């Protein structure tokens, strides 16, 4: 062997050995490294690559990542991808290096280019399309709109309404309200505040009729005159105010009716003291404080309400029927005649 070449071979050996111990995978004859370990660059592979590079490493001259690793983007792959990007490979997402936009859609419940927007709380299962946020499985009860972000009107029965359009209630209204959107109060004169809108009649209809004193389909008209209650449809009186009678409640009860109260046919329900008859038009006899209200000739009541006139009894009972004539006058009994005779006789003796 030419001994003059030995030192050169020895130097080359040590250079190769030195490169093997460094980050160089394949050194060249001129001492430069042609291939570095992943994560290193430079002529001698003595500079770390910038940022978080993918398996392809970085450019050997600039140190710039050829491609960013999962979870990173930007020029030097130093910025993290948006947190709500979908993970399809391992535990980190992939996003566009230049824009940072998520490349594999969003995690559940999010939408947008960077998955920065939450799906509407009205979406069924909190599920929406990542490109526009519209609900993928429709709306939950009580919500409407493409993104289910509009509440159904509060008066909708079952909290259900049309998802699109004007959001009309689809199962009718809750108690006490009516209208397409169930946002109109039933008239307070509707019985039990129960009403609905009849589209064929173009009117609100009180389902259970009107409270006393009101009439018409929507119970907005008063019953006529002295009616206390009337037919919802026709307005015909079914009960008169106190003091009135007749089909239209225009006639007044007799002044001698007790409390001026009578039936629809004008008959007094009871009479004032001292009167009797259907209309309390007949006076009782002078001996009666009150009398039987019959068609027969006047008779005193069995029990006096106050006292019998003009006779007073300890038992507070009226005279027996046999002692009262048809005019109401008192007829003395035999025992009374005896007492009267004795008194008269005694007076004559003293004279």
pLDDT tens digits, 271-307: 888 888 888 888 876 666 566 555 455 555 544 443 3
The residue count for the chain: 351
Q: Which of 127-141, 261-275, 334-348 has the lowest mean pLDDT?
A: 334-348
Q: Which of 141-150, 244-253, 338-347 has the lowest mean pLDDT?
A: 338-347
Please check the confidence at residue 227 and state whether its pLDDT lies above 90.
yes
- The DSSP secondary-structure symbol of 235 reads -
pLDDT at 309: 42
Spell out the residues 6+ positions from residue 174 whose beta carbon is closer than 8 angstroms to its own.
Answer: 155, 156, 157, 182
Please check the confidence at residue 64 and state whether its pLDDT lies above 60.
yes
CA distance 138 to 52: 41
Average pLDDT for 236-247: 92
Give the percent of the chain with pLDDT over 90: 44
Average pLDDT for 256-280: 88
Instruction: Determine if the pTM surpasses 0.75.
Output: no
Beta strands in 208-248 (DSSP E): 214-215, 221-222, 227-230, 237-240, 244-245
Q: Which of 24-28, 115-119, 188-192, 219-223 has the lowest mean pLDDT?
A: 24-28
Three-class SS state of 41: strand
pLDDT at 293: 52
Please classify residue 265 by burial: count the beta carbons closer than 10 Å to its beta carbon, then call 0-12 exposed, 13-18 middle and 19+ buried.
exposed
CA distance 219 to 235: 11
pLDDT at 324: 41
Please check the confidence at residue 36 and state whether its pLDDT lies above 90.
no
Q: Which residues pair with 173 in a beta bridge?
A: 156
Q: Which of 69-73, 179-183, 321-325 has the lowest mean pLDDT?
A: 321-325
Q: Which of 2-11, 89-98, 105-114 has the lowest mean pLDDT?
A: 2-11
Spell out the residues 6+ positions from residue 20 whose beta carbon is closer than 8 angstroms to its own.
Answer: none
Average pLDDT for 225-245: 92
């Amino acid at each position: 062997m030419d001994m003059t070449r030995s030192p050169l071979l020895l130097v080359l050996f040590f250079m190769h050995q030195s490169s093997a111990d460094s980050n160089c995978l394949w050194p060249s004859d001129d001492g430069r490294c042609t291939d570095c370990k992943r994560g290193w660059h430079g002529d001698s592979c003595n500079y770390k690559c910038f940022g978080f590079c993918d398996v392809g490493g970085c450019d050997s001259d600039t140190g710039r990542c050829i491609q960013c690793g999962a979870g990173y983007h930007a020029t030097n792959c130093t910025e993290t991808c948006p947190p709500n990007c979908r993970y399809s490979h391992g535990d980190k997402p992939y996003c566009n290096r230049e824009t940072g936009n998520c490349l594999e859609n969003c995690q559940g419940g999010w939408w947008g280019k960077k998955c920065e927007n939450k799906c509407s709380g009205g979406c069924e299962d909190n599920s929406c399309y990542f490109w526009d946020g519209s609900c993928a499985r429709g709306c939950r009860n009580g919500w409407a709109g493409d993104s289910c972000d509009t509440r159904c009107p509060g008066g909708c029965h079952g909290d259900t309404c049309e998802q699109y359009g004007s959001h009309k209630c689809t199962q009718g209204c809750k108690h006490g309200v009516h209208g397409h959107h169930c946002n109109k109060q039933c008239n307070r004169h509707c019985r039990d505040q129960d009403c609905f809108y009849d589209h064929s009649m173009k009117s609100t209809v009180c389902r259970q009729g009107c409270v006393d004193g009101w009439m018409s389909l929507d119970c907005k008209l008063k019953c006529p005159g002295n009616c206390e209650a009337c037919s919802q449809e026709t307005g015909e009186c079914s009960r008169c105010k106190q003091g009135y009678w007749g089909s239209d409640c225009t006639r007044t009860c007799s002044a001698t009716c007790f409390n001026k109260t009578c039936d629809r046919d004008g008959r007094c329900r009871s009479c004032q003291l001292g009167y009797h008859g259907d209309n309390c038009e007949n006076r009782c006899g002078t001996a009666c404080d009150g009398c039987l209200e019959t068609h027969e000739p006047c008779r005193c009541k069995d029990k006096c309400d106050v006292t019998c006139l003009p006779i007073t009894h300890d038992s507070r009972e009226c005279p027996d029927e046999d002692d009262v004539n048809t005019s109401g006058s008192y007829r003395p009994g035999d025992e009374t005649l005896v007492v009267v005779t004795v008194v008269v006789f005694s007076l004559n003796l003293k004279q």
